[in-house]
Amino acid sequence: MKHHILPASLLLALSAWTLPAHAIGRLADITVVDRNTGATLPLYYHRGEYWVAGQYGAKYAIAVRNKLGERLLAVTAVDGVNVLSGETAAWDQTGYVFSSWQQYQVTGWRKSSSEVAAFEFSALGDSYAGRTGRPANVGVIGVALFREQPPEPVAQAPVYSSPRRSEREADAPAAPAPPAAESPAAGKSALADRILGGAEASASAEGLLRKPQAAPLPAPKLGTGHGARESSLVSHTSFARLQSQPNEVIRIRYDSRENLVANGVIREPVAHHPVPDPFPQSGITSYVPDPPLRRY
């Protein structure tokens, strides 16, 4: 069974929770947070995709809040790269495990069980994906969510007849328990999913992250750099997926505000300037006007 990461600093959301204004997701709320300001970046919906505007040099985090009363696995990718392993991202890889109602901010590329290299908006050439020869998917954040396979029911102990029952009843075997319902991937561990479904998952992930040709941009395209190392404690746990395909995939694209405005993702208000007047002082009297009417 594959081992996954369990964030050590998760906060239990046992009290009332206000739904973030800029979150998306059915199984979990996913937001992008500017760590320099602490503000949640607003989401813009354009032609079937969600976008956020990043600022060059700013650190950011991917905030995840489990909305279910059960564990979730979040396989997280930035620019087509798994944030935990550094592999070209696929659904069957390692991820963060969230307990019921837990929340956590993924703040960087995982370097060890105690450190990450901070996510920071950078030029495409300075992005981690670009520097490792994988620039094709720069500009997208992905979170694939998996529900957990429930534990198998415990077999009941045999039931024996009492001496008072008839010999026929005493010799009869106990009725077997009904078989457990088989899910599409019942009995498979996350490792089995990787072996059996890895090729299909990789192909699907590549199709998901493939981007259409874009028009020339007024500013350099943003990517995510490999920033300074920071403390971030996690532990390891196991997780058996309910199925090999994600129960939900969340995709958020990002770029600079200038580029999002140029592509029509963000529509800025049009400034209305007054019509020029060739005689701006015309019609203005030079006499003393009457005072307002007296009120009785």
Task: Say which residue, 150 or 282, is predicted with more confidence.
Answer: 150
Whether 19 shows a pLDDT value over 70: the answer reads: no
Question: Range with the lowest mean pLDDT among 60-64, 201-205, 265-269?
Answer: 201-205
- In tens, the pLDDT along 191-219 reads 333 333 333 333 344 444 444 455 566 78
What integer pLDDT is reported at residue 63 of this predicted model? Answer: 98
* Mean pLDDT on 127-137: 98
Q: Which amino acid is at 8?
A: A
Q: What integer is the mean pLDDT of 28-52?
A: 96
The band of 156, judged by pLDDT with boundaries at 50, 70 and 90, is confident
Q: Residue 179 — very low, low, confident or very high, per pLDDT cuts 50/70/90?
A: very low
Tell me the C-alpha distance between 88 and 292, whole Å: 77
Confidence (pLDDT) at 130: 97
**Residue pLDDT, tens place only, 73-120:** 999 999 999 999 999 999 999 999 999 999 999 999 999 999 999 999
Which phi and psi (to 5°) does residue 198 adopt?
-60, -45
Give the DSSP per-residue string, 33-81: EETTT-PBPPPEEETTEEEEEE-TT-BEEEEEEE-SSS-EEEEEEETTE
- Sole residue written with tokens 């995982």: 110
DSSP run (H or E) holding 250:
strand 248-256
Which is it for the CA torsion 249, 99, 238, 132, positive or negative?
Answer: positive
pLDDT digits (tens, 9 = 90+) for 159-176: 655 555 434 433 434 434
Every domain of the chain and the residues it spans: 3-150+189-262
What confidence tier does 265 reach under pLDDT thresholds 50, 70, 90?
A: very high
Looking at residue 270, its pLDDT comes to 67
**Nearest one of 82, 198, 97, 208 to 146, comparing CA atoms:** 97
* Res 8 pLDDT > 80: no
pLDDT at 6 over 60: yes
Question: What average pLDDT does the chain have?
Answer: 80
